[in-house]
Amino acid sequence: MRAILLATALLALAPPVMAQSRDNVIAAPVLRAHVSVSGELVRIGDLIDNAGAAGTIAVYRAPDLGTTGSLPVAQVVATLRANQVIGVDTRDLTEISVTRLARTLTSKDIELQVARAIEHRGGLGDAANLSLTFDTDPQNIRLDATNSGALQPVAVRLDPRNGRFDVSLEIANDAGAASTRLRFTGTVIETVEAAVLTRNVDRNEILRASDIAMERRPKAEIGTDNAMRDATIGLQVRRSLRAGQPLKTADLAKPELVTRDQSVMLTYESAGIYLTIRGKALENGTEGDVVSVLNLQSKRTVTGTVTGRNQISASAQVPRPPVADNATAPTTLGSLNPPAPIAVAANAN
């Protein structure tokens, strides 16, 4: 630890020596092993207990803000004697430490306060979504401990055309001294969370979880069509994309489970009957799409819903019972029967 420099000039000579208690009993001054000060000067009252009237006399300059220095006890005793303070109980100490208290503002604290000062200005969003670039990178700043007030913006300017900001922050001083003012300039952009590819992908590839990472990107680059990670997994890309490229919803589609002219399994279900037959898709389709299928047994074209990879479900027709002459009886559902081509296929199997 660096030794504390002796003050070049003492402010005053202390009147003799020892303080008195309320019972008029003289209390001996006692040296302190550890001293903390909040200003630039170390006074006798900081170094010893029971300093009496001599307590306000400044004898040393304090170390730098937020640092600790050391003083040999012999030097301290000599300084006290020079100021008429005698009979000090040194408690067999060989040195004492002196720490200058400080308030530290980290670069993150500064960036957050500047972001809060300009959020919602000029079309910007929340402070958490703002990315700041300072003209001079803010370093950790140490202030005198008496600067205990909150960081408050006192002057804020923002040019929405180029994102230039000029922000002044002020910190109140509880010792009655003038407030401390700090000024920061730079540029700001708003960012959003975006799903970004971790590898190159080809057209029609299906995205896996390992293919996608979330990153913050400029909002102007992403626009309003950005895709979120959970919503992209399992989708098919419409075009070839590069690693690092943000995904847009327009780049993605549900995967095609059925391809035109591809062999598919056509399924009929009705009233406890489950029949399957081979067919050929006549158009492409994703899950839930209704597509046309050629029944390879009957050579008839039917429609069905895509339910899985190369799987299509077709509903069996429900015949309408005849209505009696001159009657308005309600139509009732008869038993469900599969179409004739299915029955033939079932017998063939």
| Number of folded domains that form the chain | 3
Specify the CATH number for the domain of residue 297: 2.30.30.760
Is 140 inside a domain boundary?
yes
Instruction: Kindly state whether residues 223 and 296 are assigned to the same domain.
Output: no
- Angle, alpha carbons 154-160-164 (nearest 5°): 60
The whole-angstrom distance between residue 295's C-alpha and the CA centroid of its chain comes to: 56
Q: Residue 346: which of 275, 264, 263 has the closest Cα?
A: 275
List of E strands, 90-230: 95-100, 102-105, 130-134, 141-144, 152-159, 164-171, 180-197, 212-218
Instruction: Kindly state whether residues 130 and 233 are assigned to the same domain.
Output: yes
What pLDDT digit, counting tens, does each position of 292-313 carry?
Answer: 888 888 888 888 888 888 888 8
Give the N- to C-terminal CA distance of the chain in Å, as an integer: 95
pLDDT value, residue 322: 57
Instruction: Kindly state whether residues 215 and 131 are assigned to the same domain.
Output: yes
Instruction: Kindly state whether residues 236 and 153 are assigned to the same domain.
Output: yes
Instruction: Kindly state whether residues 171 and 275 are assigned to the same domain.
Output: no
**Cα–Cα distances in Å, from 210 out to 31, 199, 202, 229, 232?**
66, 9, 15, 10, 11
Specify the CATH number for the domain of residue 208: 3.90.1210.10
Last-in-domain residue among 227, 253, 279: 253
Is 326 inside a domain boundary?
no
3-state secondary structure of 246: strand
Q: Residue 282: which of 254, 301, 257, 255 has the closest Cα?
A: 301
What backbone phi and psi angles, to 5 degrees, belong to 284?
Answer: -75, 155
In whole angstroms, what is the distance from residue 6 CA to residue 73 CA?
A: 13
DSSP helix, strand, coil percent of the chain (3-state; round to 5) = 15, 40, 45
Instruction: Kindly state whether residues 212 and 279 are assigned to the same domain.
Output: no
Q: What is the DSSP letter of 219?
A: H
Is 179 inside a domain boundary?
yes
Q: Which residues of the chain have pLDDT under 50?
A: 1-24, 327-349
Is 128 inside a domain boundary?
yes
Is 278 inside a domain boundary?
yes
Last-in-domain residue among 253, 273, 303: 253
Beta-carbon contacts of 310 under 8 Å, excluding residues fewer than 6 positions away, are 257, 258, 262, 263, 264, 265
Instruction: Kindly state whether residues 203 and 278 are assigned to the same domain.
Output: no
The whole-angstrom distance between residue 41's C-alpha and the CA centroid of its chain comes to: 42
pLDDT value, residue 243: 93
Is 325 inside a domain boundary?
no
Instruction: Kindly state whether residues 209 and 111 are assigned to the same domain.
Output: yes
Instruction: Kindly state whether residues 34 and 177 are assigned to the same domain.
Output: no
pLDDT value, residue 317: 55
Q: Which amino acid is at 136?
A: T
CA dihedral defined by 67, 73, 75, 79, rounded to 10 degrees?
A: 90
pLDDT value, residue 14: 39
Instruction: Kindly state whether residues 124 and 81 are assigned to the same domain.
Output: no
In whole angstroms, what is the distance from residue 74 CA to residue 77 CA?
A: 5
Q: Sheet containing 34-37: give its strands across.
A: 2-3, 68-72, 95-100, 34-37
The whole-angstrom distance between residue 62's C-alpha and the CA centroid of its chain comes to: 40
Tell me the residue range of the domain where 127 lies.
Answer: 102-253
- The tokens for 246 are 């943000």
Specify the CATH number for the domain of residue 78: 2.60.480
- Angle, alpha carbons 153-156-158 (nearest 5°): 145
What pLDDT digit, counting tens, does each position of 196-209 carry?
Answer: 999 999 988 888 88
Cα-atom radius of gyration of the chain, to the nearest Å? 42
- The tokens for 20 are 């008195």
**Cα–Cα distances in Å, from 263 out to 163, 281, 349?**
58, 6, 18
Is 130 inside a domain boundary?
yes
Q: Is the pTM of this model over 0.75?
A: no
Is 6 inside a domain boundary?
yes
Instruction: Kindly state whether residues 57 and 144 are assigned to the same domain.
Output: no
Last-in-domain residue among 52, 84, 100: 100
Instruction: Kindly state whether residues 175 and 186 are assigned to the same domain.
Output: yes
